[in-house]
Structure 1
Amino acid sequence: METVPNELKTSSKIGDRPTSDVVVRLRTQDGRDDWLYCHSHILVEESKYFADRLSDSWPTCQILDSRNCVEVYCEEPDLDSHVNVLRLFYVIADGLMMEICHGVKNALGILRVAVKLGCPRIIAVCVDYLEAVPWEEAEEEEILNTIPSMGSKVEPVLARLQPVNPTAVMKIFLAALQFATSSPPSPLNDLKNTAQEQLEYMLTEDDDAPLLSADEEIKLEVMRCVKKLLDRFNSIVESLLCDLQESISDSGKMQSLHSCLTDLLWACQILGKLEIIRDFVCSWTELSMKLVTIVQQKDGENQILKTKLKVLEVTAKVLEAIGYGIVVLPTVKRLHMVKLWLPFVRTMKPLVDSVSEETEEDLTLKFDSEIWQSLESAFVAIILTLSSVDQTDILTEWLENQQIRYPDLTEAFEVWCYRSKVAKRRLATLGEEHNTAKAV
């Protein structure tokens, strides 16, 4: 195709009727019929569609006032984009053409028409523009719905959306994991929280599969990082115990304890998704007595109360894992966890309720009601795994306690009553079957 000199293109202007030799009629099903006076040498150079329509071999080319007439049918929403494309035919500099794109939505409309009319220069400009500018979420969805059907010439637009190879995913996961379990300066806490959120998102199966599979390498690295986190937590706990013995109060250490608890709560989520929470549960079980000793000795100021609530959140995750058989612990340790945490939870519930009522504006003291329910259900589940004698002791203490309303152990009490009542008959039957088997 012969290239039109820039001087000739510059002297020609769209809509200049005296110099125009072709009319482009843009028509819609709704009856729109817009006439644009154009120049055939520009249309032929810029568009394969118009080059074909204005060629000698096209049989339906009409003559109107000594002008060729080309009809282009389009949908009503695309009419403005067709007009823009025709105007862009007359723009010489690609840089100026890019400025006329005026946003992602407009550029997509122009690109659709340019592909339809076979306009390589405009296609290239739109691709460069869309590849370079930021997209909003709705624009990204529209791009995904539009670009893939346009062929390889527009593929660069989708470069930022292409899947990443597994090696690169693993690399960024491990880097984020190191940062998420570190102890950075406080100005970096927001970045650390973001890293934790995105790590959890990578491992979550929702409408899409997890970003990476939980292989042994990932599990080992997560366990290693969480162990470092637990070691740091244990050091803080030991230091606070020493301070208690010497009647020293260090608000900085309590803040560090709270921060570490927040990290451990996040770690529970990750360990649960990877099904490797056992070591964490065992460590928390060993630390529980020391932790309760520390938080019980502190007064009820807001910061301490927030720390106690964070302790409860982590404990709820641990008790759930024990109560539902995710982690199997010996009887003595299950009994220890119930006897240690049940009184603590029982005293915390009315305290949190009263403080929340007095400080409704302080949303940081709000405690998710689902966590109270989770703790209650976990206690019931664990109690029902204990011996009938241990159950009797726990339920007797519960019935005699003033804080009988929470945790509500009614379900455990009902099961205990039923089991106790039918125990002799059940075991007698088993004994008879055993004796019969021995006789045979």
Structure 2
Amino acid sequence: MAATESLLKSGEVSAMIRQGFITSPNSSSATAARLSPRFSSLSSPPSPLLSPKPSTLFEMISQEDFSRRGPPPPPSDDQKRRRLEEMISKILSTEDPSWVPGDVELSVSSDDGFRFSMDVHRQVLARRSRFFAEKLEGISRVPGSPVVVEICECDDVEVYVQAVGMMYCRDLRRRLAGEAVGKVLGLLKVSMDIMFDSGVRACMDYLEVIPWSEDDEEKVISVLSQLQLHEPLNRVLQRVSVEPSTSSGADAIFFRVLAGVLQAKDEKARREIKALVSGLLREDRDQSKNHGNKIDIPKETLYHFCRKCLNSLHLCLSEAANVDEGRRDRKAIMGEVAREADNIQWLVEILINKRMCDEFVTLWADQSELARCHSKIPCMYRYEISRITAQLCVAIGRGQILVSKDARISLLRTWLEALYEDFGWMKSACRIFDKNVVEDGLCRMILTLPMAQQQTILLKWFDYFLNKGDDCPNIQRAFEVWWRRAFVRQYAGTQDHSGKSFNRQEN
């Protein structure tokens, strides 16, 4: 008791209040300790709250009956208390049935008023917890009376009690078996707070072994990032983090994944993995808009495969254009053409999402020899190639690809006529083809060009549409806008430097 009084008089009391462990010198029947951010004497009962006197006989009888019986505890608290009693009893009887009654009365309470008390052993607390060992060291024991320790304002009384129960367990891993990840994280935090080192190690070992759901993974990362751990932390987070040595091989991994998809032999598996990779890249883009892309596929790698696919497509088209009866079947060759065109579409989709597609527009516009071979093949075999042009026009029309005027004009000069010719087949043969999206993208792209180029393109489209009808893309909206620019709003007022206005023809 003298040690306790000297402690209160010393400057350490404020520090102990902050740490949440305060000894009370006023307890007469037992040496008492209180773990709480707020100090209050255990021996001094709280002052009763004053209430108005009853004014009627019914109120007097009701109040007397209520005071005699007291308010009934919430059923949930009773159930929780019984469950905790059973848990502690089971731990003590299982680990060592010869335990004598405890010499420490440990009371744990939460903000919502739930309180649970249990008899535990000072030697166990001091041996397993450096926190309890330090705080109990200065508290003397009155013979025949337990040391009273109160833990206040716990986030979860059940977890705290379970952590104390774990101090009695010889095999902590077996004790944790079957627990949910959230419960183990709670036990880990309590074990860290009370410096229960073997409990910390057991929780970390368990988290390293047990499977996680995606929700669990977020919880684990969030909790562990707040703890000051070193080796055990690194061991657990190896499941979700990449070491620098592994990160340096990311380029090789991306190269292997892309090559595997483009060269796959099983068509069904190829489609599934293509969809998988595309979905992961879109997910990365959506989640990292505010933080930058996490997945950084090298631009050189993507363009390496683009050029490789273009070369293969050119070879296949040349062979198909010159095929005769003594050579390979044209249908088989055109299957390879469709596959290479599909590969390019997939790569272009990635380039567009990564905002790296400007160079490909120029690369595709320069394929004049490929376009000549394309014109020699029946539409039913070649329409997949025109889907690449449609894909680029839509992205340019949406502002997803920013390229120069010359690059846009060159693209349309090389491939627009082929797009007109193949449009009917694209509509009928492609399940995911949206003609409205393509027509809108084409309109928007054409209207970004100078008026002279708009006129040339739209007048040529006018003739195509009158002859082919629905088999040609309907870009009437672009035609209307151009017409109004050319003839309705032909002149615009402009100010010269002297402040006088003069008229200038828009084109």
Task: Quote the Cα distance in structure 1 between the aligned partners of 2:114 and 2:121.
Answer: 22
Q: Which runs of 5+ in 2 are unaligned?
A: 1-90, 497-507
Number of the residue aligned with 1:373: 440
Partner of 1:30: 112
Q: Determine if the alignment matches structure 1 residue 263 to structure 2 residue 343.
A: yes
Deviation readout 1:112-169 (Å, 9 max, x if unpaired): 1111111000101111221233322211221232222221245323333445535233
- Amino acid of the structure 2 residue aligned with 1:314: I
CA distance in 2, matches of 1:193, 1:117: 49
The Cα offsets for residues 76-115 of structure 1, whole Å up to 9 and x where unpaired, read as: 5x22211221221121124324426x13112101101111
Determine the C-alpha separation between the residues in 2 that align with 1:176 and 1:407: 39
Q: Report whether the alignment pairs 1:225 with 2:308.
A: no
Q: Does structure 2 retain, via aligned residues, the 8 Å contact 1:25–1:70? A: yes
* Distance in structure 2 (CA, Å) of the matches to 1:134 and 1:230: 44
Report the alpha carbon displacement of residue 238 of structure 1 after superposing the two structures with TM.
2.7
CA distance in 2, matches of 1:85, 1:180: 50
CA separation of 1:336 and 1:93: change in aligned 2, threshold 3 A? closer
5 Å matches for 1:419-434?
419-420=486-487
Q: Which residue of 1 aligns with 2:62?
A: none
Aligned mate of 1:44, from 126, 136, 144: 126
Question: Which segment is superposed worse, 157-166 or 87-96?
Answer: 157-166
**1:174, 1:326 → 2: CA distance?**
27
Query: Structure 1's 421 and 71: CA in aligned 2 closer, same or farther, altered over 3 A?
Result: closer
For 1:40 and 1:336, how far apart are their aligned partners in 2? 87
Q: Contact 2:316–2:337 (CA<8 Å) still a contact in 1? A: yes
Matches within 5 A, 1:10-409: 18-55=100-137, 57-58=138-139, 66-75=145-154, 78-99=156-177, 102-153=179-230, 155-156=233-234, 157-162=236-241, 164-165=243-244, 167-186=248-267, 188-189=269-270, 190-191=272-273, 194-195=276-277, 198=280, 206-211=289-294, 218-243=298-323, 251-272=331-352, 273-274=355-356, 275-282=358-365, 286-291=369-374, 293-294=376-377, 296-297=379-380, 308=383, 310-320=384-394, 326=403, 328-329=406-407, 334-345=412-423, 347-348=424-425, 352=428, 365-368=431-434, 370-379=437-446, 381=448, 386=453, 388-389=455-456, 391-398=458-465, 402-403=469-470, 406-409=473-476
Structure 1 counterpart of 2:289, which letter? D
- Tell me the TM-score normalised to structure 2 length: 0.64
Q: Is the 8 A contact 1:169 1:212 kept in 2?
A: no
The separation in 2 between residues aligned to 1:366 and 1:322, in whole angstroms, is 20
Q: Secondary structure at the match of 2:211?
A: coil
Letter in 2 for 1:175: R
CA distance in structure 2 between the aligned counterparts of 1:25 and 1:425, rounded to whole angstroms: 86
Say if 1:265 and 1:314, in contact at 8 Å, map to a contact too: yes
Would you say the 8 A contact 2:380–2:425 is kept in 1? no
Q: 1:237 to 1:88 in 2, by over 3 A?
A: same
* Greater helix share, structure number: 1
Code of the aligned partner of 1:68: V
Alpha-carbon distance in structure 2 between the residues aligned to 1:232 and 1:286:
13
The whole-number CA distance in structure 2 between the counterparts of 1:386 and 1:21 is 95
Within 1, Cα distance between the matches of 2:349 and 2:182?
40
The Cα of 1:176 is off from its aligned counterpart by: 3.0
TM-score with structure 1 length normalisation?
0.72
Contact kept? 2:379, 2:421, Cα under 8 Å = no
AA aligned opposite 2:260 = F
Cα distance change of structure 1 residues 313 and 187 upon mapping to structure 2, 3 Å threshold: closer
Distance 1:144 1:395, change over 3 A: same
Q: Is this contact kept in 2: 1:22–1:40, CA < 8 A?
A: yes
CA distance in 1, matches of 2:176, 2:220: 18
Identity %: 15
Q: How many residues align?
A: 390
Which residue is equivalent to 2:12?
none
Give the C-alpha shift of residue 179 in structure 1: 3.0
Contact 1:334 1:382 in 2 (8 A): no
Amino acid at match of 1:377: R
Q: What amino acid maps onto 1:224 in structure 2?
A: H
Larger radius of gyration: 2
Say which is worse superposed, 136-145 or 311-320, in terms of deviation.
311-320
Letter in 2 for 1:40: R
Q: Which amino acid aligns with 2:185?
A: L
Tell me the amino acid that sits aligned with residue 184 of structure 2. A
341 and 137 in structure 1: CA distance in 2 versus 1, 3 angstrom threshold: same
CA 1:297 to 1:124, structure 2 compared with 1: closer, same or farther past 3 Å? closer
Deviates more, 1:182-191 or 1:35-44: 182-191
Q: Offset at 1:49?
A: 2.6
In the superposition, relative to structure 1, how do residues 164 and 230 fare at CA in structure 2: closer, same or farther (>3 Å)? farther
8 Å contact from structure 2 (residues 365, 414) kept in 1: no
Change (3 A) 1:330 1:367: closer
Report the CA distance shift for 1:365/1:19 in structure 2 as closer, same or farther (over 3 A). Answer: same
Q: Can you list the C-alpha shifts for 1:280-308, whole angstroms capped at 9, x where unaligned?
A: 4235554345446535245xxxxxxxx84
The aligned amino acid for 1:50 is F
User: Gapped runs of 5+ residues in structure 1?
Assistant: 1-8, 299-306, 356-363, 430-440
